[in-house]
């Protein structure tokens, strides 16, 4: 695959890359108020790969870092994610798509396997209050180093 081949879904290499990441940049845009870019971090795999074209990550009530982005998503669902692995040579995975905010109960009903994920109940003994889901429309790798 060339460095700039744009795909409409996440291939196996991209999925594996996302599962290893501990941070990402989230960019949202609201037509009237401009754009917002937020740095989000969690343990490896905090962003769940739900399918080849669906990602999600949990949010908690006290996580104010994305409050601006969440407000933006409700007005304009366009979103861009950037995952960068600096340790392996500044490899970047760029993802663009449509975002939606779902409550934890609705998310667990839609994706039953989340109920089997014990890590979701071990974050300070609480469950996420909501999830940010992303329908992937475009994804591409930009790599200075090796992905695998």
Per DSSP, the residues of the chain read --TT--BSS--HHHHHHHHH-SEEEEEEEETTTEEEEEEEE-STT-SEEEETTEEEEEE-TT-GGGHHHHHHHHH--EEEEEEEEGGGTSEEEEEEEEEEEEEHHHHHHH-GGGGG-GGGG-BTTB--SEEEEEEEEEEEEE-SS---
- When mean pLDDT is compared across 53-57, 76-80, 113-117, the lowest value belongs to 113-117
Q: What is the mean pLDDT of the chain?
A: 82
| Fold that domain 12-142 belongs to in CATH | Pnp Oxidase; Chain A (2.30.110)
Tens of pLDDT, residues 23-69: 999 998 765 666 778 888 888 888 999 999 999 998 877 655 566 66
Structural domain boundaries in the chain? 12-142
């Amino acid at each position: 695959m060339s460095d700039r081949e744009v795909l409409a879904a996440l291939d196996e290499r991209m999925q594996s890359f996302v599962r290893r990441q501990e941070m990402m940049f989230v960019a949202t845009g609201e037509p009237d108020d401009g754009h917002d870019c937020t740095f989000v971090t969690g343990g490896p795999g905090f962003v769940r790969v739900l399918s080849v074209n669906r990602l999600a990550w949990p949010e908690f009530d006290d996580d104010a870092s994305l409050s601006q982005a969440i407000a933006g998503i409700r007005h304009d669902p366009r979103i861009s994610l950037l995952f960068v692995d600096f340790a392996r040579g500044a490899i970047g995975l760029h993802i663009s798509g449509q975002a939606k905010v779902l409550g934890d109960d609705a998310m667990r009903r839609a994706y039953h396997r989340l109920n089997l994920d014990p890590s979701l109940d071990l974050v300070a003994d609480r469950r996420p209050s909501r999830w940010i889901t992303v329908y992937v429309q475009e994804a591409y790798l930009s790599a200075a180093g090796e992905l695998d």
